[in-house]
Amino acid sequence: MSEELCFKTAVELAALLRSRAVSAEEVMHAHLRQIERVNPTVNAIVTLDVERALAGARAADRALAGGEPPGVLHGLPIAHKDLLPTRGMRTTFGSPIYRDFVPDADALLAERLRNAGAICIGKTNTPEFGAGSQTFNTVFGATRNPWDPSRTCGGSSGGAAVALACGMLPIADGSDLGGSLRNPASFCNVVGLRPSPGRVPSWPTLNAWFTLAVLGPMARTVQDVALMMQAIVGPDVRIPFSSPETGRHFARPLAREFKGVRVAWSRDLGGLPFEPAVVRALEPGRRVLQALGCEVEEAEPDLRAADRVFRVLRAWHFEAAYGTLLDTQRAQLKDTVVWNIEEGRRLSGHDVARAEIERTELHHRIGTFMEQYEFLAAPVVQVPPFDVNRPWVTEIDGQPMQTYLDWMKSCYLISATGLPALSIPCGFTEEGLPVGLQLIARHQDDFGLLQLAYAFQEQTGTWKQRAPLVA
């Protein structure tokens, strides 16, 4: 019964909890036992507060017994990505500088999840300051892929993806600047949604106008992602571009007819290199979309200048966020973070202005493209999960990568467009490693994106396959 509870969907668990068919304490004990069994192998949950978790579960049971209306996430365990400040719980940002840092206030996302009834049990692993799509740091070490513990789980929301794949959590949160929700979801056979900027407001923040980085949900199913969106979506006056829509927008039925809907199928997003194993694993995805009734056409969006836009704005952001640390504690920063900050310091006002102009032009070009197609389908990743001891991919299909960012262009070029994007389980390589399909929707059509992802999921059932570590 314990492991069975751990692999129920969040929607199923929430219904059982609301009906009192199972108690929050039972659910919590089941997940804590799963963490005890599996986490030593994968190192996904790096801070765990058992007493706080059980106290929260008991309080949830008392509240329900006393007639209090349950929130949409009532009684569901969650661990927050270790970039998200949590009151009274260590938040390291994956950095030795903050090894013992304990915030005195919750981030807005943690607050919203708690108000919806989720119970925080700890934190999930992330690379230092979320830099890079490989989850390792000097504070906690590396997080391993449950499909093959000798491989990486991706990143930077790697701990979250692994915890979901292993049944240690039913829901998880993450963040995505260049692919950090989508990449680990693809590597771990779970769902990761990069919402439209402003859909899930991020507070605290040093730059309330920065739209390249977003917060979002991860789960094993699209329905569970939609459930989380009900709790975390909504405006906040501290974030000037936050969306006015509330979470109720995501409570509507996901089922939809897709006959005749035009979908652009991109093989390589305009010429990016891909390992052949990834290409082969994605091919059945095209047939799935066709089976849903979609009119699928090969078409490549014009992403010219998206690479420069992303790199310039990312570097500018890193200097703004971490420049002071470079001046005061350089020796404790990893080399790639140092490089990114220094890239930001080399920028001129002209560089940033040019990037913003090119981003505006990109927005209009991609908007014109998406007038022809309601959705774009493309690879999430360019390589399968690789050796956990490799910091980053240095070559793809014979083409050398110059920086630790290059191998994730298939994600970060889409980040530069501002369109909502999602990784949905699609297939496996010949070695049995997961590969996700990236689905991309029109400007701010996050709900339509979830509808297509739900239809795809129900057609394939790929998400039901469990990692060998927990199968």
Cα angle vertex 451, ends 448, 455, to 5°? 145
pLDDT at 111: 98
Amino acid residing at 311? R
CA dihedral 448, 449, 451, 452 (to 10 degrees): 120
Distance of CA 417 to the CA centre of its chain: 17
**DSSP 8-class letter at 249:** G
Strands 399-400 and 375-379: unpaired
Smallest CA-to-CA distance from 42 within 172, 179, 188, 181 is with 188
Smallest CA-to-CA distance from 334 within 94, 98, 156, 123 is with 94
As a whole number of angstroms, the distance between CA 394 and CA 392 comes to: 6
Give the DSSP letter string of 59-122.
HHHHHHHTTPPPPTTTT-EEEEETTS-BTTB---TT-GGGTT---SS--HHHHHHHHTT-EEEE
Please state, in angstroms and as integers, the Cα–Cα distance from residue 121 to each residue in 61, 118, 215, 435, 460, following that order: 16, 10, 19, 29, 32
| Burial annotation 403-430 (CB, 10 A radius, 16+ → b, else e) | ebbbbbbbbbbbbbbbbbbbbbbbbbbe
pLDDT at 1: 59
Domain annotation covers residue 164: yes
**DSSP 8-class letter at 333:** S
Domain annotation covers residue 239: yes
Domain annotation covers residue 471: no
Strands 421-428 and 395-396: unpaired
Distance of CA 134 to the CA centre of its chain: 13
Query: In this structure, what CATH number is given to the domain that contains residue 417?
Result: 3.90.1300.10
Smallest CA-to-CA distance from 127 within 153, 155, 97 is with 155
What is the radius of gyration, based on Cα positions, of the chain?
Answer: 21
Domain annotation covers residue 445: yes
Q: What is the largest CA-CA distance in the chain?
A: 63
Give the number of domains in the chain: 1
As a whole number of angstroms, the distance between CA 14 and CA 332 comes to: 42
**The pair of three-digit structure tokens given for residue 399, joined into one six-digit string:** 């083409």
Supply the range of the domain harboring residue 381.
2-464
pLDDT at 241: 96
Domain annotation covers residue 137: yes
CB 99 within 8 A of CB 92: yes
Smallest CA-to-CA distance from 457 within 294, 295, 254, 265 is with 254
pLDDT at 2: 77
Residue with tokens 């929607």: 11
**DSSP 8-class letter at 177:** S
Element (H, E) at 123: strand 119-124
CB 177 within 8 A of CB 210: no
Residue with tokens 């979250």: 160
CB 78 within 8 A of CB 232: no
The residues annotated with a catalytic role in the active site are: 81, 156, 180
Strands 399-400 and 171-176: unpaired
Domain annotation covers residue 370: yes
**The pair of three-digit structure tokens given for residue 362, joined into one six-digit string:** 């990109």
CB 102 within 8 A of CB 374: no
Residue 152 sits at φ, ψ, to 5 deg, of -75, 155
**DSSP 8-class letter at 275:** -
Instruction: Please report how the helices 222-232 and 446-460 are oriented relative to each other, as an axis angle in degrees rounded to 10.
Output: 160
SS3 441: strand
Domain annotation covers residue 469: no
As a whole number of angstroms, the distance between CA 366 and CA 423 comes to: 19
Q: 347-372: per-residue pLDDT in tens?
A: 999 999 999 999 999 999 999 999 99
CA dihedral 286, 287, 292, 298 (to 10 degrees): 40
Domain annotation covers residue 470: no
Instruction: Please report how the helices 409-417 and 306-329 are oriented relative to each other, as an axis angle in degrees rounded to 10.
Output: 100
Residues in the chain predicted with pLDDT less than 50, given as ranges, are none
Amino acid residing at 214? V
SS3 146: coil
